[in-house]
Amino acid sequence: MNSTISSRDGWPALPRRDGPLLAAHGGGFRYYFTVAKVLKSASEHPINRVFAIYFSSKTQMEAFFANPDYLAIKAKFFAKSVAGTTIFGGYER
């Protein structure tokens, strides 16, 4: 997934708060980058963050994204800090 972070006020809280909840759902951050320069993009918004998260199963992933705690974190921090996102894709190992 890539993101455009438009406000640093809420963004630092997202990975800190999502991390334990991801772990509780068999997931975590595999990669997390700050992007200085984008050479090619199909996204309609600028990209300044890229991260990859993983889950132990698709069921765990779906449970995470439907979890009321995640939705509360997203509503409080994500909406005011992220101007755009693009999901690159998913795969199974």
Q: What are the sequence ranges of the domains in the chain?
A: 2-84
Which of 91, 88, 17 lies closest to 54 in space, CA to CA? 91
Task: Give dist(CA 20, CA 25) in Å, integer.
Answer: 9
CATH fold for domain 2-84? Alpha-Beta Plaits (3.30.70)
Instruction: Give pLDDT tens digits for 23-80.
Output: 999 998 888 888 888 899 888 888 888 888 899 999 999 999 999 998 988 888 777 7
